[in-house]
Structure 1
């Protein structure tokens, strides 16, 4: 029998789309983009011709800091 895959042992990193970022933060679209403009929120990354996404790790770390948790 083969050893279990490491893929399931580590936290999965995903691309969050705007709806997921809004759900994770409780903020609306305009405020998320304002915080990005100010440099107070992780930047979106271009993932397609007309699509952007955020690193789940960066967004989750930002949320943890806002809640006073250690990253």
Structure 2
């Protein structure tokens, strides 16, 4: 990703498709700190930064949320 390119926000369906995780596993991993945290988009809408998901996909076994 280039520095002046904005980071896309991915909705949960896209994140689940890209990672192959179930919804419950995704939230469990977030609670453990082994998956990127979500970002609030609006009152009832959340998403994940595409760069954070890419970092997790590059090294899922050793990812820690505080590494970013």
Give the number of the structure with larger relative contact order, counting CA–CA contacts within 8 Å between residues 6 or more apart: 2
Aligned counterparts of 2:60 and 2:36: Cα–Cα separation in 1: 13
If you compute each CA radius of gyration, which structure gives the higher value, 1 or 2?
Answer: 1
Q: Spell out the pairing of 1:5-24 with structure 2 (5 A cutoff).
A: 10=2, 13-24=7-18
What's the RMSD between the two structures over aligned residues? Answer: 2.2
How far apart, in 2, do the equivalents of 1:20 and 1:13 lie? 15
**Displacement of 1:12:** 5.8
Structure 1: stretches of 5+ with no match in the other structure: 1-8
The total of aligned residue pairs comes to 60
Instruction: Give the gaps of 5 or more residues in structure 2.
Output: 62-68
- Give the TM-score, by structure 1 length: 0.74
Instruction: After the TM superposition, list the runs of 4 or more consecutive aligned residues in structure 1 that deviate by more than 2 angstroms.
Output: 9-13
